[in-house]
Structure 1
Amino acid sequence: MSDIMNGMAMLIAAFHKYSGKEGDKLTLSKGELKDLLQNELGDIFGKSTDKAKVDKIFKDLDANADGTVDFQEYVALVACLTVLCNDFFTEK
């Protein structure tokens, strides 16, 4: 597989590693999202246990306000973080 296809497979695998532990296997609950952020993106978000921060991130991601984060909402987060990282490393 190409590098991009490997990256896509890794994004999918990371989502499904956490989804469904507390309900629907196609969405992330607030607790599942917290675990994903801490374990997979801890270098960016830190190991914060601040409930208010997790609540804000969850609310911002839950674009359709259904109380869960679906795959599309999760990918939007990863895409935004990727853009921010790219901007940070390409600044002169």
Structure 2
Amino acid sequence: MSTKIPSQLETAMEQIMFTFHKYAGDKNYLEKEDLRQLMEREVPGYMKNQKDPLAIDRIMKNLEECRDGKVFFEGYLSLIAGLTNGCNEYYVKKMKPTGKKY
């Protein structure tokens, strides 16, 4: 019986999912402090470049569906998609033309 090795994309999807649950725990949603810890530990470069001391509050407000202080998986995916889109824009403008890789 052969074991198929997951593709890079499958591995990335798994990591996105597991990272959410690592910070959400059994409650299956992120509260403000969960989101702060996730952002500081998982995307420290983004957080270091933030000039806005209320960045987490702003992000939380944008992601909450019901304005109840909870960010569910779908909101988290929106955050990851937005951050990834920003990285892609940087890559297309700055790195791809020079042939550099991350």
TM-score range for the pair, normalised by the shorter chain length: 0.7 to 0.9
1:38-68, Cα deviation, whole Å (9 max, x unpaired): 00011112287x3x22111110111332321
Give SS of 2:34's match.
helix
Structure 1 unaligned spans of 5+: none
Give the whole-Å Cα distance in 2 for the aligned partners of 1:2 and 1:64. 35
Amino acid at match of 1:71: F
Q: Percent identity?
A: 33
Give SS of 1:19's match.
helix
Larger Rg: 2
Give SS of 2:21's match.
helix
Where does residue 4 of structure 1 map in the other structure? 9
Contact 1:38 1:47 in 2 (8 A): no
Tell me how many residue pairs correspond in the alignment: 87
Amino acid at match of 1:17: K
Contact 1:18 1:33 in 2 (8 A): yes
Where does residue 23 of structure 2 map in the other structure? 18
1:7-43, Cα deviation, whole Å (9 max, x unpaired): 00000111111103xxx52100000000000000111
| Higher strand proportion (structure 1 or 2) | 1
Amino acid at match of 1:84: G
Give the whole-Å Cα distance in 2 for the aligned partners of 1:47 and 1:14. 22
Give the whole-Å Cα distance in 2 for the aligned partners of 1:5 and 1:64. 30
Give the whole-Å Cα distance in 2 for the aligned partners of 1:53 and 1:84. 16
Give SS of 1:28's match.
coil
Where does residue 85 of structure 1 map in the other structure? 87
- Considering only aligned residues, what root-mean-square deviation do their CA atoms show, in Å? 1.7
Give the whole-Å Cα distance in 2 for the aligned partners of 1:54 and 1:44. 11
